[in-house]
Amino acid sequence: MGFSDAAREKAQARVSELEAQIADLKWQLTKAKGELTGAQTIDGAVDTVTSPEPLRGPTEGLRGKTDSMVATAKAKVDTLQAELTTTEAKLSTYQTAQDAVEAITNLVDDASKDTYPKS
């Protein structure tokens, strides 16, 4: 196995690793978006039920908790979206590098055929 084979395999391994990370992040993001929707639904229901004046004071803690649930879920969605965007950018960079390794390897292979003809 020559240098070019090792470089090709290393580039392919990194691309595969990033593709797996992207698939996992997409799954986590879908799950987190569902949790955010659920938290927003609960928050809306709690606000509706507890907004009349006689209930407002005694239920302040409950409303604060549901607000916190929404904020936490939104932060998780935003964080996962940022990680996904960053990982997709890395994948694009590694795919470009992989293409470059392939192109250079092909050039070297072609040049060596011209330089060292078989007898």
14 in helix, strand or coil? helix
Task: Give me the number of domains the chain comprises.
Answer: 1
Average pLDDT per block of 10 residues along the chain, 119 residues long: 74 94 98 98 92 84 94 98 98 90 78 62
Q: 3-50 and 60-115 helices cross at what angle (nearest 10)?
A: 160
Give the domain CATH number at 58.
1.10.287
Domain that holds residue 18: 3-108
Supply the pLDDT for residue 15. 94
pTM, entire model: 0.78
- In-domain check, residue 30: yes
- In-domain check, residue 19: yes
N- to C-terminal Cα distance for the chain? 23
